[in-house]
């Protein structure tokens, strides 16, 4: 028997395959190594043996059996566990990847296959000029989508030529000074907040980037909608279970692309994963706002999110308006700004930043919490019913203060004890509105120990509804009407109602544009089948009158706001089996809560707020997520439609995003993100 010392000094043969870029065949090299040789020494030996004069700085060793990179070059082969039977590949860390963006355009660029996905997405977003990269991630297409695509390609006789924007000269190398993307800490391209074009003073900042003005136009502007036939052929989820399947393909943010079996030139989807859009600023976010608008638009057209007919017409009118603006020459004129010196533009930006917000009424906000008091009509269920009965609304005197609403028999009784006081902190607030039918309702789902109590409030008019709805929305988040976001919330609700308000005009109906607008492009196939083309065009043009004067960026922001106001907005579904349950349920994950949903009816059963969460962990052996809340409430479930790591990362990701503030710079605490989302497998 040989001693361990003798064994350590012995050398052995290690086979390394070299992946030469631009060459089809890979070559094998045999190296004589010993266990105490470090990884850097192995690569040096290999390069000397290859004897080819070229830049090897981007190359690293990939261990195929273990599915891991050997990036710690000071570690020895013994420490890494590499022995003679190891299959190593010497390959570039940055490879080409095709990314389908939210606007359905495909870009092809070099991405780090060795960095964790969280960092890789950050580098991709820098190249594409999308701020707040932590809100996005990479998604593999669902099998159902791919099946439909293959079926379509099979039925198409002509070859499909994919429209790809090639960004070959944009290696997304972490920390590389040669490729800072389109923004950095000191030089931020400024966009016209009205039409979203880069102002001419900062257009030169695009010169070192692959995203020159024409390419920026592709990402920052919406383009004509696809044909109704193409739309009908795209995959549309029919049930909540179908929607759950769409969310199964999110990549693990704590592992690299290569570790997750992504190959060079594969196609992935770049999407907004977390529905908390922080600090949207038209001045810097033309690309981000447009991609967000496009993701919202496709979600509505493909019915990934439900909306009423009235809401669909608003979305259609805004799309029609934006398509007109985007096609106009004015919207895409990059030189219509007066020439301003670059330094002057940067100083102007600094001045706006330093000015801060207005100081009006700050003392009033601190010392005085406003209250609402008015007659409203009420209908309540003691518990959530299986079937809704005819709602017999009864009028009461309501008082809204702090985060609670109390109701009394009448105004005179308002000084005494209320009939009931409802604490809205943590409740679900759902609009129940039909402007044409003069129905302004608020549906409240209030969590209780054994489920949810359902309460309906009915307002008399738009103004009353906007004030009470805004108060309910803030109270659900634990905020009062003294919060600075209350008045903007009221204004947002009123502007949305104004868009819904149809003002019939003969001119709109007989507009010649209705002849060639192809209205089916602006609504989901289900609504396109419901009306004849001329009827649909007339209704869209009627709704368009309320938005006809909006500038391009404002119209996109209104579309995003309308999307955010939908009851299902921000809910990501997974099929789960709760501990102790005999049937499958759906789990809805939002930015501030988890919702248990009946898979058969789609009705919410219970809501748990992140704010009341004490801890959560994963039993990796049985793939079970366990969560503890206040008041000794604990739940546990296994995920059936996706890996439990995806659900774990969603919860941790939302908690991480809630720690952001405008006082911080754009540098994120990546360690905190991985601590909250990585898990201990």
What's the helix, strand, coil split of the chain in %, to 5?
Answer: 35, 25, 40
- For residue 485, give the H/E element and its range: none
Q: Which of the residue ranges 467-476, 493-502, 616-625 would you say has the lowest mean pLDDT?
A: 493-502
Pick from 253, 241, 259, 234: nearest CA to 141: 234
The residue behind tokens 């330094």 is 343
Pick from 550, 490, 542, 486: nearest CA to 514: 542
pLDDT at 180 exceeding the cut of 50: no
> Do the strands 613-619 and 604-609 form a parallel or antiparallel pair, or are they unpaired?
unpaired
Strand partners, 247: none
Q: Buried (b) or exposed (e) across 256-286, using 16+ Cβ within 10 A?
A: bbbbeebebeeebbbbbbbbbbeeeebebbb
Residue 170 in tokens: 């944009």
Residue 204: band (very low, low, confident or very high) from pLDDT cuts 50, 70, 90: very low
CA distance 292 to 128: 13
* % of residues, the chain, pLDDT over 90: 46
Give pLDDT, residue 6: 46
Q: Buried (b) or exposed (e) across 171-189, using 16+ Cβ within 10 A?
A: bbbeeeeebbbbbeeeebb
Contact criterion met (CB below 8 Å) for 677 and 253: yes
Pick from 185, 180, 187: nearest CA to 211: 180
The residue behind tokens 């931020």 is 188
CA distance 586 to 456: 24
CA distance 525 to 303: 9
pLDDT at 403 exceeding the cut of 80: yes
Q: Which residues neighbour 337 within 8 Å (Cβ) at sequence distance 6 or greater? A: 192, 197, 199, 200, 201
> Do the strands 68-70 and 439-448 form a parallel or antiparallel pair, or are they unpaired?
unpaired
How distant, in Å, are the alpha carbons of 28, 33, 135, 238, 553 from that of 46?
A: 10, 11, 41, 55, 54
CA distance 634 to 638: 14
Q: Which of the 8 DSSP states describes residue 479?
A: -
CA distance 565 to 551: 21
Positive or negative: CA dihedral 327, 328, 334, 340: negative
Taking only the tens place, the pLDDT of each residue in 18-57 is: 987 666 677 899 999 999 999 999 999 999 999 888 889 9
Count of other CB atoms within 10 angstroms of residue 157: 5
Residue 158: band (very low, low, confident or very high) from pLDDT cuts 50, 70, 90: very low
Mean pLDDT for the chain?
81
Pick from 61, 436, 99, 48: nearest CA to 269: 99
Q: Which residues neighbour 286 within 8 Å (Cβ) at sequence distance 6 or greater? A: 191, 196, 197, 198, 216, 220, 553
Phi-psi region of 265 (alpha: psi -120 to 50; beta: other; left: phi over 0): left
Strand partners, 629: 613, 633
* % of residues, the chain, pLDDT over 70: 77
- Give the pLDDT mean for 381-391: 48
Residue 294 in tokens: 């496009």
CA distance 398 to 410: 8
DSSP conformation letters of 617-674: EEETTTTEEEEEETTTEEEEEEESSS-HHHHHHHHHHHHHHTT--TTS-S---HHHHH
DSSP conformation letters of 335-381: T-SPP--HHHHHHHHHHHHHH-S--TTHHHHHH---EEEEEEEEEEE
- What pTM does this model have? 0.81
Give 156 or 93, the one with higher predicted confidence.
93
> Do the strands 371-381 and 404-408 form a parallel or antiparallel pair, or are they unpaired?
unpaired
Q: In what order do the strands lie in the sheet with 164-167?
A: 136-139, 267-272, 94-100, 106-112, 164-167
Count of other CB atoms within 10 angstroms of residue 366: 9
Taking only the tens place, the pLDDT of each residue in 493-521 is: 998 888 877 654 444 444 545 446 788 89
pLDDT at 663 exceeding the cut of 90: no
Taking only the tens place, the pLDDT of each residue in 251-283 is: 999 999 999 999 999 999 999 999 999 989 998
- For residue 34, give the H/E element and its range: strand 27-34
Q: Which of the 8 DSSP states describes residue 262?
A: P
CA distance 260 to 248: 14
Residue 436: band (very low, low, confident or very high) from pLDDT cuts 50, 70, 90: confident
Residue 612 in tokens: 């009341």
Give pLDDT, residue 496: 84
- Give the pLDDT mean for 441-466: 86
Give 7 or 398, the one with higher predicted confidence.
398
């Amino acid at each position: 028997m040989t001693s361990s010392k003798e064994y350590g000094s012995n050398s052995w043969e290690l086979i390394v395959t070299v992946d030469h870029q631009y060459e089809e065949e890979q070559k094998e090299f045999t190296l004589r190594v010993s266990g105490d040789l470090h990884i850097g020494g192995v690569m040096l030996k290999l390069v000397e043996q290859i004897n080819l004069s070229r830049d090897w700085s981007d190359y690293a060793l990939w261990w195929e059996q273990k599915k891991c990179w050997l990036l710690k070059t000071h570690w020895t082969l013994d420490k890494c566990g590499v022995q003679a039977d190891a299959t190593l590949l010497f390959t570039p860390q940055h490879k080409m990847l095709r990314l389908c963006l939210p606007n359905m355009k495909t870009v092809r660029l070099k991405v780090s296959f060795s960095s964790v996905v969280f960092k890789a997405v950050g580098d991709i977003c820098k190249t594409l000029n999308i701020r707040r990269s932590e809100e996005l991630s990479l998604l593999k297409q669902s099998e159902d989508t791919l099946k439909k695509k293959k079926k379509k390609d099979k039925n198409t006789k002509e070859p499909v030529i994919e429209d790809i924007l090639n960004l070959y000269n944009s290696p997304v190398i972490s920390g590389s000074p040669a490729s800072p993307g389109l923004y950095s800490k000191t030089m931020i391209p400024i966009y016209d907040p009205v039409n979203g074009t880069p102002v001419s003073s900062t257009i030169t900042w695009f010169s070192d980037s692959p995203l020159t003005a024409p390419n920026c136009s592709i990402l920052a502007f919406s383009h004509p909608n696809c044909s109704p036939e193409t739309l009908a052929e795209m995959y549309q989820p029919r049930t909540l279970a179908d929607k759950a399947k769409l969310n199964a393909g999110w990549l693990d943010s704590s592992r690299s692309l290569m570790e997750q079996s992504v190959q060079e030139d594969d196609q992935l989807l770049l999407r907004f994963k977390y529905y908390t859009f922080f600090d949207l600023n038209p001045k810097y976010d033309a690309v981000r706002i447009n991609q967000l608008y496009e993701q919202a638009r496709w979600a509505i057209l493909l019915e990934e999110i439900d909306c009423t007919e009235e809401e669909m017409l608003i979305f259609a009118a805004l799309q029609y308006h934006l398509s007109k603006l985007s096609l106009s020459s004015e919207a895409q004129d990059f030189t219509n700004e007066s020439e301003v010196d670059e330094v002057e533009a940067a100083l102007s930006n600094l001045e706006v930043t330093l000015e801060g917000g207005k100081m009006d009424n700050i003392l009033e906000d601190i010392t005085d919490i406003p209250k609402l008091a008015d007659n409203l009509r009420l209908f309540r269920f003691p518990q959530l019913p299986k079937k809704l009965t005819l709602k017999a609304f009864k009028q009461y005197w309501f008082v809204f203060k702090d985060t609670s609403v109390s109701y009394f028999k009448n105004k005179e009784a308002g000084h005494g004890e209320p009939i009931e006081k409802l604490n809205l902190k943590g409740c679900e607030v759902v609009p129940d509105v039909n402007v044409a039918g003069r129905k302004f309702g608020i549906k409240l789902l209030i969590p209780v120990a054994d489920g949810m109590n359902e309460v309906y409030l009915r307002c008399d008019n738009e103004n009353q509804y906007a004030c009470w709805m805004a108060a309910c929305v803030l109270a659900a988040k634990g905020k009062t009407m003294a919060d600075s976001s209350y008045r903007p919330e009221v204004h947002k609700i009123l502007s949305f109602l104004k868009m819904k308000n149809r003002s019939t005009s003969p001119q709109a109906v007989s507009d010649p544009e209705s002849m060639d607008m192809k209205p089916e492009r602006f609504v989901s196939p289900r609504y396109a089948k419901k009306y004849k083309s001329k009827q649909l065009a007339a209704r869209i043009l009627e709704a368009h009158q309320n938005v006809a004067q909006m500038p391009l960026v404002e119209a996109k922001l209104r579309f995003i706001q309308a999307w955010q106001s939908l009851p299902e907005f921000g809910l990501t579904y997974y099929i789960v089996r709760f501990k102790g349950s005999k049937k499958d349920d759906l789990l809805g994950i939002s930015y501030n809560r988890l919702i248990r949903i009946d898979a058969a009816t789609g009705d919410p059963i219970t809501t748990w707020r992140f704010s009341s969460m004490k801890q959560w962990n994963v039993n990796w052996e049985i793939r079970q997520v366990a969560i503890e809340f206040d008041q000794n409430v604990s739940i546990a479930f296994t995920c059936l439609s996706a890996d439990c790591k995806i659900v774990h990362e969603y919860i941790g990701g939302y908690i991480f995003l809630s720690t952001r503030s405008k006082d911080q710079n754009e540098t994120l605490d990546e360690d905190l993100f991985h601590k909250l989302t990585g898990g201990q497998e």
